[in-house]
Amino acid sequence: MLKMHSFRLTTASALGVLYARLATAAVPDPPAPEPIEVVELPLPPVTTGSCTPDINPRGTGCITQGIYGEGFQSGSFLPDGNHIVAYVTFTGAPEAPDPASIYNGSQIILIKTDNTSFPNGDPWKCITCGVPAGNSPGKSDTWDYPHAFQDGKRLLIGTNIVDCGEFLLTDSDCTPERTFVYPIRWNVTPDGSGAGGAIRELRLHPDNVHLGFSSFVIVDGTVGQFSYFSRLQFNPAPTTGEPLVPRYDLVNVTMLFSPNNTPPLTIDGDEIIIHPLPNQVGELRGFSGRGGEVTYIGYPTESCNIDLYAVELATGSVRRLTAHPEYVDPADVSPDDQWTVVMDTRGTNRQMFMAGMRGVPPLIDMIATTVASSIRNNHQRRFFEPYLIDRYGDRGDYSGQKISEAGSGVAGSGAINDPEWNGRADPRWSPDGTKIAYWQDLTASPACGGVNPLPCYKSTAQGGRFVRFMLATLTSRKPYTLPSVEPVSDVVPWGTPYVPGDPAPTLPRIPQGTYTLSGATSGSAEVTITENADDTSIKSVAVQYNDYSDDGINFINGYENYTRSNPSPSLEVADWYSDLVRTGETHSTKKTSPDGFHPSVDLFVNIFEANGTLTTTVDDDVYLQPLNYS
C-alpha cells in the first residue's frame, strides 16, 4: 500500500539508497551522531507598551515581540567566543532626557554565551544605543547579518561598519560617544558620483580585509543576480560620491562570473553537454573557515534540487557541499573547514514533490530555478532546520545530524524541536569550533490561520516573543585555537574585474532548437528549447527521455515540459507538465495532473499558490505539494 506523505512529514529512509552513488572510495565513512546541547540565549524583556521599571528595573530597554522575525537577527561570535552579536528592535522607551530613551528602534547588541553578565548585571549590552548623530552621518538603514571583525573592535552590520576605535566592543570604555557607524559604498559610476550601487547579503571574509556581496539586476524583464568579491578601504574624507562622509569604499571589485568560464550547459552541433560543477556563482552565502573558498547557491546538479557549493578563490575549482533533494540556503563553514552547518528544509518534505526523483539532469532548470527555489518559504514562514554536515557532505544513509532534535516535537510546545519555530539565516560557528549560534521565529499570521490551512500557536516565550536566539554546544568536542587568516589576494583569476559603469552581463543560454543529451552510459534525452517572442530569453524547455542513464543502474523514461512567463520582473508563472518514470535501484515517478501543474510565485514574497498537482513517488512514499498559501 502506498504511504501518503504531506510535506511536513519526515523524509523517507528509502532515500538513503539514492545517495549511495555519491560516495567514493576516497570519502571516509560518515561520522556517528554526537551529543549536542541546545539552550536559549537571554534577550532584553518584551513589552507591548511602555518599557516600565516593572518590566526592566535596570532601565536598559525592552524589545518588541518580533512578529515574523522582523527587526531581529542573530549574528556571529566575537573573537573571544563568549559573546554573539545580534540585531534587535527596542520599543517603549521613555522620552529624552531620560537615560533610557536611547533604547529605541533598530539596534545592535552583544549577548553573553557563557552564563555571565556585563558589569550592570545584564547578559547583553547595546552597542549602537545612544550613538550621537554626529558619529553616524550617512549610515544606512540596513542592519542585517551582523558579523564581528577579528579585532573585537568593529562590526559589519548590513551596509555599515560599527567601530569603537581603540576599545574592545565588550569593554566598559566602549561607550556611545566613542562608537562610530560608517556606511559602505560601492561605486558604480565612471566619475564616482551618485549614491553607489545596491548591495545585499554582505559577508565578511575571514581575513577581515575583504567583503563578498550580491546585487540584483533586471535582465530581459526578469530579476537576476550577480555576486562580487571586494576589498574594504576606509575613506576618511571622500571628495566624490554619496554620502560625502567618512565611509568604507569597496575597491578592487571582482564579479564572480566570467563569460570565459564554461557555463553549466553548452552545445556541440545538435548535442547538449552538461558541465557539472561550473564556477558560476549565484547568490553568495559566505566563505570557508580559512577563507580559501566562496560558498554560494549555484546551478543545480540535479533537476529542481537547490544545493550549496564552494569555489576556490585562487583556482575556480568547485565542490558540492550538499546533495539532499531539499532546499538549502543559509550556511556557515567551521573555522577549520571540516564541517558545515546549514539551514535546510530536509526532514520537512517541503521540496520533495518536485526534487525527490534523483538523477534527473538539470534541463528544465534553465528556466525553472525561480519556482524551484521560491517554494521553500510561505512568505515569512521558513521550513528550515539546522543540520551539522561533515566536509564530505551527504552520502549513503548520511544526510547530516539535526541540531535542534531535543524535545517533544509537539507543535506549539516551545520545545527545542517545536516545528513551529522556524530556523532563519545565518547559523554561525564559534572560533574554537565547539558551539553554533542560530535563531528562529515562531509562525505567525498570515503564514498560518485565515486562508492558510495551518493553525497558529501562541508563543510560550517571555512576553509572547516570536523570536529566540539559540546556542548549540557540541559537548564532546575539544576547543581549538587557529592562527589568524592572512589577507588573500584581491585578484580572482576566474572572475571579471568590475569597471564602474559597466552593464550587467547576459548569462549564456542555449539557443532555440532541438538537441540531444546522451546518457553517460546509455539512452538519451531529446531537448526542445523555445525562445520568447523577442528572442531575449528562453520561454519553454521540453524533454523526452528514452532509457536515459548516467550510471547504468537507473533509467529514466517519459517527458517533462516547462513553460514560464513573467508578468513582472519578480513574478513567475509556470505551466509544468511531467510524466517521468525512473527504474533501477528504486522505482520513482514524477507526474503532474492531466491539466498540468501551474504555480505562480513572486520571489520577493514566496507564497505558494498553484492550480493542478505535481506529485513524486519514491517506492512506497508519495510526496505531495504544499497546500496553497501554506
Domain of 150 in residue numbering reads as 33-348+383-497
In a domain, 7, yes or no: no
State residue 500's pLDDT score.
Answer: 97
Peptide bond before 336: cis, by omega within 30 degrees of 0?
A: no
Nearest by Cα to 496 from 226, 285, 199, 197: 226
In a domain, 21, yes or no: no
For the chain, list residues with pLDDT below 50.
Answer: 1-25
Question: Do 517 and 437 share a domain, yes or no?
Answer: no
CATH code of the domain containing 169: 2.120.10
The long-range contacts involving 213-220, CB below 8 angstroms and separated by at least 24 positions, are 213/186, 213/250, 213/284, 214/283, 214/284, 215/186, 217/504, 218/569, 219/504, 219/506, 219/507, 220/506, 220/534, 220/536, 220/537
Question: Do 476 and 537 share a domain, yes or no?
Answer: no
Q: Where on the phi/psi map is residue 189: left (φ > 0), alpha (ψ -120 to 50), or beta?
A: beta
Cβ proximity of 568 and 539 under 8 Å: no
Question: Do 246 and 390 share a domain, yes or no?
Answer: yes
State residue 349's pLDDT score.
Answer: 96
Question: Do 405 and 548 share a domain, yes or no?
Answer: no
Cβ proximity of 427 and 341 under 8 Å: yes
In a domain, 89, yes or no: yes
Question: Do 294 and 435 share a domain, yes or no?
Answer: yes
Q: Cα separation of 52 and 29, whole Å?
A: 56
Question: Do 286 and 242 share a domain, yes or no?
Answer: yes
Alpha-carbon dihedral angle through residues 593, 595, 597, 600, given to the nearest 10 degrees: -150
Nearest by Cα to 276 from 354, 365, 392: 365
Based on the structure, what is the number of domains in the chain? 2
State residue 20's pLDDT score.
Answer: 38
Q: Which three cell numbers stand for residue 332?
A: 556557515
Residue 19: CB partners within 8 Å, gap ≥ 6?
323, 394, 395, 396, 397, 398, 399
Q: Cα separation of 602 and 205, whole Å?
A: 31
Cβ proximity of 367 and 541 under 8 Å: yes
State residue 26's pLDDT score.
Answer: 85
Nearest by Cα to 245 from 135, 341, 319: 135
Question: Do 325 and 199 share a domain, yes or no?
Answer: yes
Nearest by Cα to 370 from 284, 304, 426: 304
Cβ proximity of 83 and 112 under 8 Å: yes
Question: Do 486 and 567 share a domain, yes or no?
Answer: no
In a domain, 366, yes or no: no
Question: Do 284 and 310 share a domain, yes or no?
Answer: yes
Question: Do 425 and 451 share a domain, yes or no?
Answer: yes
In a domain, 580, yes or no: yes
Radius of gyration of the chain (CA): 25
Last residue of a domain, one of 497, 532, 556: 497
Last residue of a domain, one of 470, 497, 524: 497
Question: Do 541 and 611 share a domain, yes or no?
Answer: yes
In a domain, 270, yes or no: yes
Residue range 552-609, pLDDT digits in tens: 999 999 999 999 999 998 899 999 999 999 999 999 999 999 999 999 999 888 888 9
Question: Do 482 and 549 share a domain, yes or no?
Answer: no
The sign of the torsion formed by the CA atoms of 61, 62, 64, 70 equals positive
Whole-prediction pTM value?
A: 0.94
Q: Cα separation of 135 and 149, whole Å?
A: 19
In a domain, 82, yes or no: yes
The long-range contacts involving 92-98, CB below 8 angstroms and separated by at least 24 positions, are 92/47, 92/49, 92/50, 92/51, 92/52, 92/62, 93/51, 93/61, 93/62, 94/50, 94/51
Q: Cα separation of 391 and 395, whole Å?
A: 11
State residue 569's pLDDT score.
Answer: 87
In a domain, 245, yes or no: yes
Last residue of a domain, one of 467, 497, 527: 497
